[in-house]
Amino acid sequence: MTEIRTTENAAELQLRLDRLLDEGAEALGHPFNPQAVGFEARDSDGTFLGGIYGWGQLGWFFVKLLALAPEARKRGVGGKLLAKAEEHARSEGLSGVYLDTYAFQAPAFYAKMGYEEIGRLPAVGDHPQRVWFAKTLGEVRS
């Protein structure tokens, strides 16, 4: 009989699940091999303003995190960080960039930056909608 229980070590479980998924993808000829990268923004005095972090995998770059300090917002910093991630994706020969945000966060920003909405969770109760965006890049090197 199968028993389902709460894990005592979520971090270890995540690693074990990642290994299982990696092995399965490898066996199917599509190894994940994520290539993580991050870029940070700083003012001329060295003050940390925010950053972007994600990884290239299977032809696309996924933006896991993009966050700005309050004083960096509305100054073009987010756009510069996103452009840097796109530049990196192009240099790696990736097809495009995708990410998700919540409806209360930055959907208008991503649309302004040329990203197309590709999906969203349904609105249920008072829970905020999660919105996915993607942008295919122009010519990329192979």
Mean pLDDT over residues 94-113, rounded? 97
96: confidence class by pLDDT, cuts 50, 70, 90: very high
For residue 142, pLDDT over 60 is answered with no
Judge residue 101's burial from the number of C-beta atoms within 10 Å of its C-beta, 0-12 exposed, 13-18 middle, 19 or more buried. Answer: buried
Token couple for 128: 């905020």
Mean pLDDT over all residues of the chain?
95
DSSP 77-110: HHHHHHHHHHHHHHHTT--EEEEEEETTSSHHHH
pLDDT number for residue 27: 96
pLDDT tens profile 28-72: 999 999 999 999 999 999 999 999 999 999 999 999 999 999 999
Contact 61, 88 (CB under 8 A): yes
* Residue 94: partners with Cβ closer than 8 Å, 6 or more residues away: 56, 59, 60, 61, 137, 140
For residue 141, pLDDT over 90 is answered with no
138: confidence class by pLDDT, cuts 50, 70, 90: confident
pLDDT tens profile 71-95: 999 999 999 999 999 999 999 999 9
pTM of the entire structure?
0.89
pLDDT number for residue 139: 64
